[in-house]
Amino acid sequence: MTNQNLDRNFKRWLLKYAHLWKTSLDQIPFVIGQNEITNRWAYYPLVRVALDVSPFDITEFENRAKHCWVLGNRFDGIRFARFVRNGDAAGKAVKELITNFPKSDSLAVKRINTFVDRVVNLGISDEKGVPDRAGAAQLASLILTVKYPKRFVDFRKGRWIKFAKNLGYDLPEIDSSYGQWLIWAGEFARLISRTRVNGSGTIVNFQNRIGCLRVSAGESRRQRSPITFRGITRKNLSQKARKKKNCILCMRETRRLFQSPKH
């Protein structure tokens, strides 16, 4: 897909929400995904601190990461807690994922796949012991997004697929590994974050709005009114959060996320 086509399709998608919510295109970044965005601002810097501390404390990491939206599903939380109970083995898996993380995509894919294979044997599985590779990939995406925000985005596969289809963006091969999916999502996010949505070249992203290049989009089943950002300004963001200007676009978590609004 050419950048021009992606720009056009993204603009159409945004205009659907602008029409639905009776607001202007320029205001869309302020009315999408308040809960998801504020959750990231609150917890991602804290998770980053836990990841950077030496020696690494898996319990402290759990205390911060368990509040993040990407682990917010009930079963995700249960499996994450079970993973953490493996203590040193869990901590080693996390540190070996992020330490000297490869710059090449091919080696990064192998590193992520190794992590997924490891953690499904450390509690990221269902009650019968069936590996939860999707859950393992979600955990990997959280860790990598916090640690390497220029390159990764937190990841729920179904929601990214829906969003890519809405924009006509090519999907990976159906048998792609989770490592390949995470690399794909990061690249897709970077392209979207650079999208220009009108003739004057205005870039719709949160780096211009609230200091972070993230978009959370979705439509609640219980309400179709826009989620506002009235309580979020540069002044009331933390000093550390305001300085995180390299975070790439994140898509997440609200119900029916990335589906086109009904007319």
pLDDT tens by residue, 78-132: 999 999 999 999 999 999 999 999 999 999 999 999 999 999 999 999 888 899 9
Per-residue pLDDT, averaged over 232-260, amounts to 37
Q: Is residue 256 in a domain?
A: no
- When computed from its CA atoms, the radius of gyration of the chain, rounded to whole angstroms, is 18
Instruction: Note the pTM of the prediction, 2 decimals.
Output: 0.75
Q: Which two tokens stand for residue 19?
A: 């029409």
Range of the domain at 22: 3-243
Percentage of the chain beyond pLDDT 90 is 44
| Residue 61 within any structural domain of the chain | yes
| Per-residue model confidence as pLDDT tens digits over 130-171 | 999 999 999 999 999 999 988 998 898 988 999 899 888 999
CB 213 within 8 A of CB 193: yes
For residue 251, is it within any domain? no
* 131 belongs to a structural domain: yes
Q: What does the pLDDT look like over 49-69, one tens digit per residue? A: 999 999 999 999 999 999 998
Task: Give the pLDDT confidence score for residue 19 in this predicted structure.
Answer: 87
Residue 44 forms part of a structural domain: yes
Who contacts 262 (Cβ-Cβ below 8 Å, separation ≥6)?
none
Residue 246 or residue 26, greater confidence:
26
Asked if 141 and 154 count as a contact pair (C-beta separation under 8 A), the reply is yes
Number of structural domains, the chain? 1
Query: Is 259 within the bounds of a domain?
Result: no
Residue count (the chain): 263
Residue 66 lies inside a defined structural domain of this protein: yes
Does 100 reside within a domain? yes
Amino acid at 53: V
Looking at every residue in the chain, the average pLDDT score rounds to: 76
Residues 6 or more apart whose CB falls under 8 angstroms from that of 247 comprise 40, 44, 145, 149, 212, 213, 214
